[in-house]
Structure 1
Amino acid sequence: MRLSEKLTKYFTIIVFFSMAFGFVIFFFAIERATTQSAIGKLENLNKIVENKLQTQSIEQIVKSHPHVKISVLSDQDINLIDEVIKEGNYEWNDKLQTMVNHVSVITYPFVGKTHYAIQSQISLTIIDNEFFVGIIMVVAWIFVFVIITIIFFGELITRKLYTPFYHLLDEMKRFDVRENYQLQLMDTNISELNDLNQLFVKTSSQTVEHYEALKEFTQNLSHELQTPIANIKGKIELMLNSDLTEDQMFSLSKMYDELNKVSTINRSLVLLMSLDHHEVTDEKINLSELIEEIISDQDDMIAMNGVTVTLNIEANVYAKLNPLLAQIVFSNLISNANRHNIPNGKISIVLNRNLFKISNTGNEQEFTNETIFQRFKKGKHNSESIGIGLALVKKILNLYNFEVEYQFHQDLHIFSIDLSDN
């Protein structure tokens, strides 16, 4: 059952019982109003009689008003001044062949020095069965008319009022998190429907963000696992071309460390997946030790490319970064400097309390500071690159309010991170 139909049904039931209860009130209200009207007329008649007593005799007045009784009170009744109303004296009337209610009003005015008692009376017919049935029939037809009107117009009105709601339902059915679908919601002056529209827009946006984060997580995981896997493969190749020596045992130890990094990177990417809701803490990491450790881990790969590394690292430089995320940032920057270098090229790393700067020789690319950090951007000389690492670097640094910039100057690719506000 549609919402509009259900509302019409409930509204019809409510109106039915409300009108039934209203009929009971209406019935007694008519009876009461009739009595009050009669009392008002009798009070007015008594006032007229009181005025006539100033110029006419009692006999003359009674003759012209047969339903009025007038008597002169003695000094013993001087305290009778309050109006008296009598009603509810029911009796059978043979002439009318029905029950009547005798209503009387007694007033005690002083006309001159004479104290009078004026009693006027009227007989009201009681609502009999035929009259009662007639009222019920009239009300019943009103019931039928009102209910038909509610069913017909109520359905039209509720459908019109809920058109934005039904439109929202259709939009929700068409919404697909995998598609870049722009929601087309109807404007309405109903605050609850506006709130519902806003809630759906907010929820759908969050859903898309979570979906994109999941996609990004998968892509980042694939990218970040490439470097340690490549390192392991390189070391295995070296082992295959030589006898088992002390160096080979050392290489095996390095392979074990790289496998540990795979696990660490995996945990880091799980954390990265929730970066939008990540709470930045005040924990700090020693960047000097971290960078030297990363250089040591990647030393074999750097040596295989014939790249010379120049280090100018100030000791005990700390930065407010999550250790796992910091590992991802600087491993990416250093491995990129090696992977996108030229044969027998150079890498220069400078670290102090205000700046981290890494520069490497390499072919000029078409990137700018605005485009190089975009996801899936690949250089014309680096078709094997997936194009996620630098986007990941920027996202982590932005989370911790660090600015990273890129420039190509004098055949050098330069990445700079401002640490001055750390």
Structure 2
Amino acid sequence: MRPKTNLLRKTSKTFLLTGLVLTILSCIALYFYTKNLLQEEIEEELYSTEARVSDALEHHKIVYSLPPVTEIKKVASLRPELLKDTLIYDPSQDDMELFRELSTYKKIHDEFYHITIRTLVVESESILLAIVISNISLFVLAFIFLFYFNTTKNLKIWQPFFDNLDAMKKFSLTSKEPVLLTESDVLEFSELKDQIEFLTTKVKVDYDNLKQFTENISHEIQTPLAIIQAKIDNIINEHAINTKQFEQITSIQKDIQRLKQLNKKITTLTKIDNNQYDKIETLSLTQGIDDHIENYKELNINNITHVSKGTLWVFMDPFLADVLINNLISNAIKHSTKDSSISIVTNKHSLKVFNSGTASLIHPEKLHLRFYRENTNNKSTGLGLAIVKKICDLYGFNLSYRFDRQQHVFSIDFAKST
């Protein structure tokens, strides 16, 4: 997954990189352009001086050589013109100085002259450097000003978007308060605000309708199931039935109980999804496990042991804590081999449930899916571990499974949620 970047930081980063590249390119271009321009001016001056010297020779005017700036010599033949840079010693500075030199050959009055014109280029380099430094300084100052101006302006423009984003983060389906969004004079942000208000209102209405529908279905299912159960009890108590009829009626009763459990678990899952369990308390799961074990003993289930290595305190809804413990123990009982022991080990940060088995689960990653069952012959609803997973996800608990030494081990790590 690519790392996320703050919007203003991302746009500012783009602005900085673009500005830096443009500054560097413009300075390089200015340097070479100015250098070329100054060189052209120097060469124009050389040609101008050479033209004056040639004109003076043609009109028989006296022209004195002034080394190293101007040198005039008679030669035997003409040669090609040469334009170059040369280093000449300057006794006043006691250093070598850079000159631009134009060396030409002219035929004047049937005589050949070698005319050499030089001009100092050191000063032009200093001017070039000063221009570039000034340009960089102006760019940097303008860049800093534009950057802060652009950032401040963008922050002001985008502020309604950020305010509305914060409001959406706090949005809750269970809250009765309307979503308070900030108006903006930017057309797109204004349209986004209107769409958010429309969608949140529609989602709340749909949520309330679905919640009411689920509650109504749950309530309506309980009534006919209770009536069916009562009629079956009347048949058993008021009529003589044979063995086959008794087995059929008993099977019907088991199916009724399974439907009741299924309805109860689906309702629990729906309420967890809708964040309806918002009663948070500090509870001792250690004590809750001991209480459940005592309840199972009343049902003649005496093969459950609990080893506590420290009181396990959790911060969660009491009803969901009870469901969590009950589902884990019920799952261990349903999937244990006959007359085998079930062990529960707790410490201050974790809970582990051990139950015997002949082999590891084929698809342990699917255990937390709704209605998934490894054994199709099993009469369970396939929702127990799905509810356990939902509860763990709700509070940030880490649920895991492993098969070790002929035992299924379900572990919940509570430390990561604290």
Taking structure 2 as the reference length, the TM-score comes to: 0.41
Larger of the two Rg values belongs to structure: 1
Taking structure 1 as the reference length, the TM-score comes to: 0.41
